[in-house]
């Protein structure tokens, strides 16, 4: 996949890479010899950007401006649970007024705005996707938070080049660094831009310690998550732990929050079972995720793409989101996958 012939749309999306996303995976599935995922690791920027150019509108429509999962209390509304998940990370990291904080892979800025309001810290959101930055700035301006929350374009594999070393008091990443071609690479860059004594908090997508890639069904599950979510390579939890310590971090706290004995599992909205909706408004969210909701939105997308209201390839990216939804639920039910491996680590004082 090459972006050289890419046709930019006027909102930051790039036509060719959305179309190429599904083509890329079709080819990838046929390439038995690419056992080490070399193509995907080499081309992570275009693969991930193609995915988000196509998926962002759907994420916002079906989920919210926060593109992550969360735990649920009984009776807790969907949006309240997303916010609580963000507050939890901020409180574990002790974010507070006066700190300059980097949000790595910030999406359209839902968590950055929420964490800024919760902690009073200054947040810089970093994202490699123009379309999402464009939307993040618009929403932030609308909320009047533009002096506290700003957004910059950049690749999280090159943070030190962009910001210089020792430039942030704290860094967090919510369900984003899984898109990196290697955990060592992205965590190493985060380590460099943190000031000595600074804290890094992450909710990481990983396969749990029960996952065994030598078992074909386990390997296939990881592959379906990769394909459906624009991920170059799903890795085990131990890889995240090892990478953090190998780049120099001291791990202060780690926990798979999906392992808490919650009555309502994190993946319940994806199951599309409206009987599980926790509040009246959540019926709509859960319906949108279910079969009838998907039928409506996917047909609408097909039509909008045909009449030119959506860029070509968006429908196919939507199809891959269906694959993701099913795979993520299966991963959650079998506890082979978690989207909320929480690790709080610190850069030692010099
Ligand atoms: C699942 S979304 C999570 C977004 C956000 N953290 C949230 O919770 O709403 C993953 C984000 O990582 C960003 N991303 C992926 N690869 C990146 C890279 N190499 N550099 C910067 N951002 C990247 C994507 O553009 C997307 O915004």
If DSSP states are collapsed to H, E and C, what string results for the chain?
CCCCCCCECCCCCEHHHHHHHHHHHHHHHHCCCCCCCHHHHHCHHHHHHHHHHHHHHHHHHHCCCCCCCCCECCCCCHHHHHHHHHHHHHHHCCCCCCCEEEEECCCCCHHHHHHHHHHCCEEEEEECCHHHHHHHHHHHHHCCCCCCEEEEECCHHHHHHHHCCCCEEEEEEECCHHHCCCHHHHHHHHHHHEEEEEEEEEEEEEECCCCCCCCHHHHHHHHHHHHHHCCCCCCEHHHHHHHHHHCCCEEEEEEEHHHCCCCECCCHHHHCCHHHCCCCCHHHHHHHHCHHHHHHHHHHHHHHHHCCCCCCCHHHHHHHHHHHHHHHHHHHHHCCEEEEEEEEEECCCC
To test the pocket of ligand 1, the residue of 50, 86, 127 to mutate (highest count of ligand atoms within 8 Å of its CB) is: 127
Sequence-ordered list of residues with C-beta below 8 angstroms from that of 142, at least 6 positions apart, any chain: none
- Within a domain: residue 1? no
pLDDT digit string, tens, across residues 322-347: 788 899 999 999 999 999 999 999 99
Which atom from ligand 1 is nearest to the alpha carbon of 66? 9
Residue 242, pLDDT score:
98
pLDDT digit string, tens, across residues 139-149: 999 999 999 99
Residue 244, pLDDT score:
98
Which atom from ligand 1 is nearest to the alpha carbon of 155? 20
CA of 280 to the centre of ligand 1 (A): 30
Q: Whose CA is nearest to atom 25 of ligand 1?
A: 129
Residue 47, pLDDT score:
77
Residue 3, pLDDT score:
41
pLDDT digit string, tens, across residues 71-115: 999 999 999 999 999 999 999 999 999 999 999 999 999 999 999
Its domain, for residue 198, covers 12-350
Q: Whose CA is nearest to atom 7 of ligand 1?
A: 67
To test the pocket of ligand 1, the residue of 45, 48, 178, 203 to mutate (highest count of ligand atoms within 8 Å of its CB) is: 48
- Within a domain: residue 5? no
pLDDT beneath 50, residues of the chain = 1-5, 33
Asked if 266 contacts 332 with a C-beta cutoff of 8 angstroms, the reply is: yes
- Within a domain: residue 283? yes
- Within a domain: residue 3? no
- Within a domain: residue 277? yes
**Ligand 1 surroundings by CB, under 6 angstroms:** 48, 52, 66-68, 105-107, 110-111, 126-129, 132, 155-157, 174-176, 179
- What spatial distance separates the first Cα and last Cα of the chain, rounded to whole Å? 43
Q: Which residue, chain included where needed, has tokens 């950055």? A: 112
CA of 156 to the centre of ligand 1 (A): 9
**How many beta carbons lie within 10 A of that of residue 308, not counting itself?**
8
Task: At 334, list the tokens.
Answer: 């079998």
Residue 105, pLDDT score:
98
Q: Is the pTM of this model over 0.95?
A: no
Residue 34, pLDDT score:
56
- Within a domain: residue 2? no
Residue count of the chain: 350
Q: Which residue, chain included where needed, has tokens 């963000």? A: 86
Angle at 234 between CA 340 and CA 201, to 5 degrees: 35
- Within a domain: residue 4? no
Which atom from ligand 1 is nearest to the alpha carbon of 156? 20
To test the pocket of ligand 1, the residue of 87, 105, 113, 130 to mutate (highest count of ligand atoms within 8 Å of its CB) is: 105
- Within a domain: residue 118? yes
To test the pocket of ligand 1, the residue of 107, 109, 176 to mutate (highest count of ligand atoms within 8 Å of its CB) is: 176
**CATH code of residue 224:** 3.40.50.150
pLDDT digit string, tens, across residues 304-325: 777 777 777 777 777 777 788 8
Count up the domains in the chain and report the number. 1
Which atom from ligand 1 is nearest to the alpha carbon of 173? 6
Q: Whose CA is nearest to atom 13 of ligand 1?
A: 105
Dihedral of alpha carbons 101, 104, 108, 111, sign = negative
CA of 3 to the centre of ligand 1 (A): 19
Asked if 164 contacts 137 with a C-beta cutoff of 8 angstroms, the reply is: no
CA distance 297 to 281: 18
- Strand bridging mode 100-104 / 168-174: parallel
Burial of 111 (0-12, 13-18, 19+ CB in 10 A): buried
Residue 157, pLDDT score:
96
């Amino acid at each position: 996949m090459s972006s050289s012939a890419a046709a930019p749309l006027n909102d930051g999306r790039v036509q060719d890479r959305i179309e190429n996303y599904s083509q890329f995976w079709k080819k990838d599935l046929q390439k038995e010899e690419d056992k080490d995922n070399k193509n995907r690791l080499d081309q992570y920027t275009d693969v991930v950007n193609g995915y988000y150019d196509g998926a962002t509108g759907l994420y916002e429509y079906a989920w919210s401006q926060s593109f992550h999962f969360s735990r649920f209390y009984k009776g807790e509304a969907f949006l309240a649970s997303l916010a609580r998940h963000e507050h939890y990370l901020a409180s574990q990291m002790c974010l507070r007024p006066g700190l300059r904080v980097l949000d790595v892979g910030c999406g359209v800025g839902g968590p950055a705005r929420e964490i800024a309001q919760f902690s009073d810290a200054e947040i810089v959101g970093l994202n490699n996707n123009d379309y999402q930055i464009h939307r993040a700035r618009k929403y932030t301006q609308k909320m009047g938070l533009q002096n506290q929350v700003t957004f910059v374009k950049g690749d999280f594999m090159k943070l030190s080049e962009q910001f210089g070393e020792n430039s942030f008091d704290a860094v967090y990443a919510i369900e984003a660094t899984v898109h990196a071609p290697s955990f060592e690479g992205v965590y190493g860059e985060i380590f460099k831009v943190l000031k000595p004594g600074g804290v890094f908090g992450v909710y990481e997508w990983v396969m749990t310690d029960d996952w065994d890639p030598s078992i074909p069904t386990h390997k296939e599950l990881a592959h379906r998550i990769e394909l459906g979510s624009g991920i170059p390579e799903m890795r085990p939890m131990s890889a995240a732990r090892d990478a953090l310590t190998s780049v120099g971090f001291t791990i202060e706290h780690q926990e798979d929050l999906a392992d808490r004995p919650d009555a309502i599992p994190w993946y319940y909205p994806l199951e599309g079972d409206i009987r599980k909706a926790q509040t009246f408004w959540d019926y709509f969210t859960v319906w949108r995720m279910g079969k009838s909701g998907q039928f409506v939105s996917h047909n609408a997308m097909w039509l909008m793409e045909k009449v030119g209201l959506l860029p070509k390839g968006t429908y196919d990216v939507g199809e891959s989101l269906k694959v993701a939804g099913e795979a993520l639920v299966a991963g959650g039910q079998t506890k082979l996958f978690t989207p909320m491996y929480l690790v709080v680590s610190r850069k030692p004082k010099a």
